[in-house]
Chain A
C-alpha cells in the first residue's frame, strides 16, 4: 500500500527513503509550502516566482488574525485571503523602501536597520519599538549560536532553517499510517528548502538522518 496525497507538482521533488517495502518509516516534510499546512490549500500552491504571487501560508495568517480578535469572533474565508494578499503587499512595500535606502548608501545587503527605517518612513512607526526589542532578543540568541548572523542567500541558512523553521512549520499530521506493517517514506523538498532530517522508524527505533537531496 502506498501512501499518497495530493501535492502540487510544481517545484516538488519526491524522494523515497528507506528501501525496504516492509519497513515502517515515517514521513516528514520540512517544507514551508502551505500546501502541507493547510487543508484548504492543499492544491493551491501559491508559489510562484513573481512577487505578486507569493503569499504567506493562509493557515498561519488566519491564526494570527484569530489571536488578534475576541475569541467569539469568526473570520470569513475571503477575509483571510484578503489579509494574506495584504501581508505580501506589506512586505514588498517595506522591502522596496528599504532596498532603495540601501542603494542610496551604496550598500548591497539590506539589514535590520534598513527595515526599521523603512517602517518609520512609511508610517509604521508604532512597530519600530516592538521590533527593536525583537531584534535584540534575536541578536542575543544568535550570539551564543553561531556568531553574528550573516547574509542570507538562496543556498544559505542551513542552521537558521533548522532552528527557525522547526518552530514555525507544522509537520503534516495524519500522514503516518499504521496500516499493517507497511508504510512508505516520502520526503519532499522544494527549491527553497532542502530536507534536513527525517525520521526513520523501524518498529520502535528512531534514527535521525540528514537526507540531503537524492533523486530517484
Chain B
C-alpha cells in the first residue's frame, strides 16, 4: 500500500503530550444499540472466517456478531454471578460458570466444550 500523508483521518485524534493516551471506549453502560461494540471486529472476523463453511461474511454480520458476543458475555456473567451469590461469595469463579451452563438452556451448546 502506498504511503500517503494525511489519508484516512482517524476519528479519534490522539494527542500525545509526551505520553500515549489510549482511546478509551466511551460509556460504561451496555445499553443496547447505544454505542459501538467493545470487542475488536477484526478478531470476530477472524473467528467467522475460520469456519470452513463460511465463504464471505458481510460487514453487518460482523458488527451484529460482535454486539451479540457482548450480550452473551453480559448474560453469562450475570447468570454465573447469581450462583456465586447463592454460595455467599463475591468472586465469580469457574464453577459458577459451569453451574450457569448447566442451568440455562441457551447455554447447552457449551456443555462439553470446557475441560
Identify the A interface with B (CB < 8 A): 26-28, 32, 47, 49-51, 54-57, 60-61, 63-65, 67-70, 72-76, 78-79, 82-83, 85-96, 98-100, 103, 108-112, 114-116, 119, 122-124, 127, 129-131, 133-139, 149-154, 157-176, 178, 192-194, 196-197, 199, 201, 206-214
Alpha-carbon separation in the docked complex, A115 to B33 (Å): 16
Q: Determine how close the nearest CB of chain B comes to the CB of A92; give it in whole angstroms.
A: 6
Contact A112 B58, CB 8 Å, known A50-B50, A124-B106 = yes
A170 to B7, CA, bound (A): 21
Judging by beta carbons under 8 Å apart, are B12 and A73 in contact?
no
Decide if A92 touches B74 in the complex (CB within 8 Å). no
The one of B15, B68, B101, B114 in contact with A94, judged by C-beta atoms closer than 8 angstroms, is: B68
Chain A nearest Cβ from B50, distance in angstroms: 4
**A99: which B residues are within 8 A, CB to CB?**
51, 53-54
Complexed CA–CA distance, A86 and B67 (Å): 15
Known: A133-B32, A149-B60, A153-B56. A168 touches B51 (CB 8 A): no
Taking the nearest CB of chain B, how far is it from the CB of A82, in angstroms? Answer: 5
**Interface, chain B (partner A; CB < 8 A):** 1-12, 14-16, 18-26, 28-30, 32-33, 36-51, 53-65, 67-78, 80-81, 84, 90-94, 96-97, 101, 105-107, 109-110, 113-114
Question: What are the residues of chain B within 8 A of A83 when measuring CB–CB?
Answer: 73, 76-77, 97
Partner of A108, one of B14, B28, B55, B65: B55
Whether B65 and A165, one on each chain, are in contact in the complex, defined by CB atoms closer than 8 angstroms, is no
Q: Which residues on the B side are within 8 Å of A60 (C-beta)?
A: 38-40
Residues of B within 8 A of A193 (CB): 42
Contact of B32 among A130, A174, A201 (CB under 8 A): A130
| Contact indicator A85/B114 (Cβ below 8 Å) | yes
Please measure, in the bound complex, the distance between the C-alpha atom of A104 and the C-alpha atom of B54, giving whole angstroms: 13
Contacts A60-B40, A86-B76, A167-B23 given; does A154 touch B49 at CB 8 Å: yes
A162 touching B92 in the complex, CB below 8 Å, given contacts A108-B55, A130-B32: no
Across-interface contacts of A65 in B (CB, < 8 A): 73-74, 77, 92
Given A60-B40, A194-B1, A199-B16; 10 other pairs, CB 8 A cutoff:
A69-B81, A86-B72, A86-B97, A99-B51, A110-B48, A115-B64, A134-B33, A165-B42, A168-B40, A208-B6
Q: Are the CB atoms of A89 and B77 closer together than 8 Å?
A: no
Closest A residue to B63 by CB, please name it: A138
Which residues in A have their C-beta under 8 angstroms from that of B6? 208-210
| A170 CA to B8 CA, complexed, in Å | 19
A85–B76 Cα distance when bound, in Å, is 12
Known: A69-B92, A123-B105, A167-B25. A192 touches B46 (CB 8 A): yes
